[in-house]
Amino acid sequence: MAGNTFGKIFKLTTFGESHGKAIGGIIDGCPAGVSVDFDKIQYEMDRRKPGQSKIVTQRKEPDTVEFLSGIFEGITTGTPIGFMIHNNNQKSKDYEHIKNSYRPSHADFVYDKKYGFRDYRGGGRSSARETAARVVAGSIAKQFMSGVQFNAFVSGVGELKLKNPHLVNNFSSVESNPVRCPDPKMAKDMEELIRQIRKEGDTVGGMITCVIKNVPIGLGEPVFDKLHAELGKAMLSINAVKGFEYGSGFEGASWRGSKHNDLFNTDGTTKTNYSGGIQGGISNGMDVYFNVAFKPVATIMQDQETIDRSGNETIMQGKGRHDPCVVPRAVPIVEAMASLVLADNFLIARTNSIIGDSNKI
């Protein structure tokens, strides 16, 4: 299986399955001399881990990270950073009913057809549990770029949506509610909707907005490796993601240029930021912001028509522990992937130009 490595210089390779002994990864290209705060890594893991509230999957995993190499006395050595996260709460029997059948809108069918074999225990390699390894690497990338602030939050659940979420500036309340929405009233409404959807044995999709502050000018490599293209690939690699837009996004397609153009201030900043902090594929020093759309979780606790491996029609119902809405737990994953992109592009920028002192991370 190819496609398990992300990045060009700051690279992450992940391994493991949802119900195997462990998942983990190798970070290659992280510079030597980075001070690693292990408590910060665990904090990010706790934001992503299952069982943290009543509106997410009730699988109980401590998600404690064991580092195997690349860090000595709390400092990165410049060598590959190897790490593992042990799986402690597998219930593989919950998936016996799909051993010979395909769950609608899951990776079951295509994995079987592509490889001639699939790990049906929680989806195996296609499970979102793999994203825990991304969060570990993303936390180290954040610490490498300590001056950059990554602020992701839930801006929509179903039909409930924040208006102009990119204008949110107070992120202090994001972690104060289980939905991770910065608007307390909207957060309560979203939580009630998710609870109701769960009672119905159904699932619901949502939207995550990410605002990245203090991004230096000059990140991004034209022509094919534009910063927004790399962010788009990163976000679309996350399980259940169906769409990505940055800056004015799809709404900007209906505007006129006279409205959409970001006019300059004398200091090089812009009066508006419809560009989303990226022009010509290169960061311009303004906030980088984007939206990521997540589909409803495919496993629902209702009868659904499907087929088995022989092509026979059959009926199945979801079992086990699943998220009724994935977006609350996906917030740290979005931040992690964004930080991997920026760390990689910062190191690339070092190889082909000099970023001025005023823009150094």
What is the residue extent of each domain of the chain?
5-359
**Model confidence at 258: pLDDT above 70:** yes
Rounded Cα gap, residues 175 and 116, in angstroms: 43
Rounded Cα gap, residues 93 and 20, in angstroms: 13
pLDDT in tens, 98-150: 788 888 998 889 988 999 888 877 677 888 999 999 999 999 999 999 999 99
CATH architecture of 5-359: 4-Layer Sandwich (3.60)
Summarize the confidence of residues 152-165 as an average pLDDT.
Answer: 97
Rounded Cα gap, residues 235 and 196, in angstroms: 28
Residues 6+ apart with CB under 8 A from 142: 40, 44, 148, 150, 335, 339
- Total-model pTM: 0.93
pLDDT, residue 359, reads 47
Q: Which of 78-82, 236-240, 303-307, 342-346 has the lowest mean pLDDT?
A: 303-307
Number of helical H runs and strand E runs in the chain? 7, 16
> Residue 249 — φ and ψ, nearest 5°?
60, -145
Q: How confident is the model at residue 297 (pLDDT cuts 50, 70, 90)?
A: very high
> Residue 241 — φ and ψ, nearest 5°?
-75, 135
Summarize the confidence of residues 1-9 as an average pLDDT.
Answer: 94
**Model confidence at 60: pLDDT above 80:** no
pLDDT, residue 62, reads 85
**Model confidence at 232: pLDDT above 70:** yes
Summarize the confidence of residues 272-291 as an average pLDDT.
Answer: 98
